[in-house]
Amino acid sequence: MSSWVLHFFVFALGCCLGSFLNVCIYRLPLSLSIVAPRSFCPHCQAPIRAYDNIPLLSYLLLRGKCRNCQGKIFWRYPMVEALTGGVTLALFLKFGFPLPFFSFLMFSAALLVITFIDLDLRIIPDIISLPGIAIGLLLALLGISITIKESLIGILAGGGTLFVVAFVYEAVTKREGMGGGDVKLLAMIGAWLGWQAILFTLFLASLSGTLIGGGAMLIQKEGRHYAIPFGPFLAFSSLAYVFFGPQLIGWYLGWGRP
Ligand SMILES: [Zn+2]
């Protein structure tokens, strides 16, 4: 297989994973099964046929409309599929096959679901973050990712740091700033990536959150109380760590020099 075909294949598989993540994003917060029933059109309730359920392609062929009722298909479905395909391919190019590609793919999938649920509903469901902590620790126990010590300290540092920040923020402002969901998410990130990732993730998430959140407030004008969810920034920043973190930290501390 030429590399071009292989890369296309990996991207297409990632888009299929993204299609499943769309189902999870919609159904997990509602405590619905992610296996059954089959997907249906939200406008006319017609079941979506297999040939109309091909990631990305069906949306383009149907021009974003339901075949049955011509109702608009939410543009975010193909967007999540393309995004997942892109992340899958990027992980493949960075890590090759099979490990740690698969473990980071699982991690990224969880982060994508968390990101969009948090954007929609301002919650980070425990049903993803708590098993996420356990799986991250298990991978370390099996010797697949980081050491057990790094993972355990990561969980404590991730959970602990944000817990303290949230506690102080609430004590000072008398308003709830960060939810418990963010604390569990950062503990999950610590479990998978180790304590080294926590400082990096918090720094980048706070920086990007302040820039984008501040920008959103300026546009919204009334927005002093416009709470922007922090989960997506944590997710994005921890993924940035997966790709560039160790090099950036090494470069910063001068370890990377020959
Ligand atoms: Zn329809």
**Does 76 share its domain with 112?**
no
Between the CA of 44 and the centroid of ligand 1 the distance, in Å, is 4
- 3-class secondary structure, 159: helix
Between the CA of 64 and the centroid of ligand 1 the distance, in Å, is 11
Between the CA of 45 and the centroid of ligand 1 the distance, in Å, is 6
Between the CA of 52 and the centroid of ligand 1 the distance, in Å, is 12
Check if the beta carbon of residue 212 is closer than 8 Å to that of residue 228: yes
How do residues 185-234 score in pLDDT, each as one tens digit?
999 999 999 998 998 999 999 999 889 887 777 776 654 555 678 999 99
d(CA 26, CA 34): 9
Between the CA of 79 and the centroid of ligand 1 the distance, in Å, is 20
Range of 131's domain? 98-258
Between the CA of 75 and the centroid of ligand 1 the distance, in Å, is 15
Least confident of 16-30, 134-148, 188-202, 204-218: 204-218
Between the CA of 124 and the centroid of ligand 1 the distance, in Å, is 30
**Does 111 share its domain with 149?**
yes
Between the CA of 47 and the centroid of ligand 1 the distance, in Å, is 8
Between the CA of 68 and the centroid of ligand 1 the distance, in Å, is 5
At which of 60, 95, 130 does a domain end?
A: 95
Residues 6 or more apart whose CB falls under 8 angstroms from that of 237 comprise 200, 201, 202, 203, 204, 205, 208
- Provide the domain count of the chain: 2
**Does 82 share its domain with 115?**
no
d(CA 246, CA 249): 5
Between the CA of 54 and the centroid of ligand 1 the distance, in Å, is 16
- 3-class secondary structure, 210: helix
Q: Quick one: pLDDT at residue 251?
A: 77
**Does 87 share its domain with 121?**
no
Between the CA of 256 and the centroid of ligand 1 the distance, in Å, is 55
**Does 221 share its domain with 155?**
yes
**Does 1 share its domain with 127?**
no
At which of 78, 95, 112 does a domain end?
A: 95
Q: What is the average pLDDT value for the chain, to the nearest integer?
A: 89
- Choice between 248 and 152, residue whose per-residue pLDDT is larger: 152
At which of 61, 95, 129 does a domain end?
A: 95
d(CA 30, CA 23): 11
Between the CA of 30 and the centroid of ligand 1 the distance, in Å, is 21
**Does 43 share its domain with 85?**
yes
**Does 170 share its domain with 196?**
yes
Between the CA of 193 and the centroid of ligand 1 the distance, in Å, is 42
Between the CA of 128 and the centroid of ligand 1 the distance, in Å, is 30
Q: Quick one: pLDDT at residue 225?
A: 53
Q: Is the per-residue pLDDT at 42 higher than 70?
A: yes
What is this structure's pTM?
0.90
The structure tokens 């979506």 sit at 48
**Does 248 share its domain with 202?**
yes
**Does 40 share its domain with 134?**
no
d(CA 149, CA 157): 12
d(CA 53, CA 41): 11
Between the CA of 58 and the centroid of ligand 1 the distance, in Å, is 14
The length of the chain is 258
Q: Quick one: pLDDT at residue 177?
A: 61
Question: Can you spell out the DSSP letters for 175-202?
Answer: S--S-HHHHHHHHHHHHHH-HHHHHHHH
Percent of all residues in the chain with a pLDDT value above 70, rounded to a whole number:
93
| Sign of the four-CA dihedral 60, 106, 193, 28 | positive
Q: Checking phi first, is residue 221 left (phi over 0); if not, alpha (psi -120 to 50) or beta? A: left
How do residues 237-247 score in pLDDT, each as one tens digit?
999 999 998 78
What is the 8-class DSSP label of residue 228? P
**Does 108 share its domain with 89?**
no
**Does 146 share its domain with 217?**
yes
State which amino acid sits at residue 127: I
Q: Checking phi first, is residue 156 left (phi over 0); if not, alpha (psi -120 to 50) or beta? A: alpha
